[in-house]
A and B are shown apart, each in its own frame.
Chain A
Amino acid sequence: MEHGKKGRGKTSRRGFLGQALTVAGTAIAAPSLLNQSSNAKDNLETAEGNMKVTLNVNGKQQSLTIEPRVTLLDALRDRLGLVGSKKGCDHGQCGACTVLVDGERVYSCLALAVMQEDKEIVTIEGLAKGDTLHPLQTAFIENDGFQCGYCTPGQICASVALLDEIKRGCASVVTPDLTRPPQLAELSEAEIKERLSGNLCRCSAYNGIVAAVQQAAGQKAPSPLADLMLSEPEETLT
């Protein structure tokens, strides 16, 4: 691993900018303030050493010079401008940052960018083929699997991985017989819910999300509204 010797000041400033935005939680901080603090920080950081990293993101090789502490999520959002992956909790608790690494879903907030070399990273931006949406993106739209949309990219990435896991025969803790994991067509609502429990949605779009996964799994998705009406006692319907 080679330590980048050139242009450290510049990338460090960007590094600090990313950090400052994260700490503030918003982008409202005045740019002048950020510049001042980052100048002070530059001198400190040159001593610590950035690294050159090449990431394969959505099929493209991307070269970055970053501090080793930069997470994959910050690298994607702040350095590569791929802001589809969201920062919710930043501690592996909400799922908003979910991306696919070598075909498996991971939380990019709990992964260091420098550790992702030679791996294939796919983000929400990489799921559609040109103007053709991924079947799960379509299913989310058709089943109204989102409200504010903040959790949606992570939910969709997680759902894409979920269907793949079913095809590979992965069991879940609610699978009754570990030696007979569920097939796509028989994937129960309980299985879908357990398998998507690593993604939280404050707006509770859950019914639409479950329906979207059912549809993409080739099942008949009950519309969330129909589901709700069926579970209501009859008197309230009239």
Chain B
Amino acid sequence: MKNFTYTRATSVKEAVQKATADNQAIFIAGGTNLIDRLKVFLDEPSQLIDISRLEMKRIERLSNGGLRIGALVSNTAVADNADVRRDYPILVRAILSGASQQIRNVATVGGNLLQRTRCPYYYDTAFPCNKRQPGQGCPAATGINRMHAILGASDQCVAVNPSDMNVALAALDAVVEVAGPKGQRQIPFIEFHRLPGNTPQRDTNLEPGELITSVILPPVSFAKSGVYLKLRDRTSYAFALVSVAAAVELAGDRIKNVRLAMGGLAHKPWRPTEAEKFLIGKPADSSTFQQAAEIALQQAKPLSHNAYKVELAKRAIRRALTVSSKGGGVV
């Protein structure tokens, strides 16, 4: 990695000021994604602003029954929190399926939201890449793209968002709280990440200098039945090829409420709202789940090497909905 100066922020305000004053500066929290990127020269900041000692390490109960999770809470601490385990198993399972204990101990909530794609062409600076340098071209679009997107991609970029936590947060309708040069604001989770369009270099709608301070989990009574199914090349310590977060609430044998989100398929966590709408009021059986899966993948545009993801995603949706409608647990 290239050298940089290092400063330790002592308050959110100071961190934002420093980042606003130097557009070559970059925040570091756990560092498990950023240091990796620095080592292969994907990022070459002039300055690292260490935010890891700021006071954003608490999980608080909100008066409406939801939770606020500080941006610096480690992935391990979220997964070990008794309230999160009881109310949002969907999030706990998603986190525990990601990376390894060594990484989860250090990885933070804010950093997990902002980890960048694992597209191998993006990682290898011998290749051109629009995400690194807009206008260079996208070798993945015509190259080996078995890991890449089948939904929402553009001809500029076919990368997927690699985070598991993001998929659970999308299903839970989380809200991201940020502090920036213009003050604080809240961003609904599903609007936080972007599709590549003509600006594949931008993963999110964060503005320059903005810092994630926390994530809010609204109360969802039926989140307890939530499941997370992650399919990958090996059974542990690998990124998802396809993943599904699902939570189903039944009234009798009919579906009263449902949440569905998918990972490994798009540039952002994917919420198939049409499939969700279809499911409401239907009997919770395999024919319903199959139809919902068809709807969720209707817009799929597979690339030369990843047509398998369409069928894999449909089966994953069916399985996740089936297990969740029976009360949840290990998928």
Contact = CB atoms under 8 A, between A and B. Distances in A.
Contacts of B79: 170-171
Given A69-B4, A173-B96, A179 B52 contact: no
B242 to A, nearest CB: 16
Given A69-B1, A106-B105, A198-B237, A176 B329 contact: yes
B100 interface: yes
B105 A90 contact: no
Interface string A159-187: 00110010011111111111100000000
Contacts of A174: 330
B331 to A, nearest CB: 10
B186 to A, nearest CB: 28
Interface stretch (B84-92, B210-218, B258-266): B84-92
Interface string A15-47: 000000000000000000000000000000100
B329 A171 contact: no
A98 B7 contact: no
Interface range, B side = 35 or more
A106 B28 contact: no
A171 B31 contact: no
A62 to B, nearest CB: 18
B3 A69 contact: yes
B35 A112 contact: yes
B182 interface: no
Contacts of B106: 106-107, 110-111
B58 interface: no
B330 A176 contact: yes
A197 interface: yes
Interface of B: 1-8, 28, 31-32, 35-36, 38-39, 48, 50, 52, 76, 79-80, 85-86, 89, 92-93, 96-97, 99-103, 105-106, 236-237, 329-330
Ranked nearest first, the 5 interchain pairs of A and B with the lowest CB-CB distance are: A198-B100, A68-B6, A197-B236, A173-B96, A104-B105
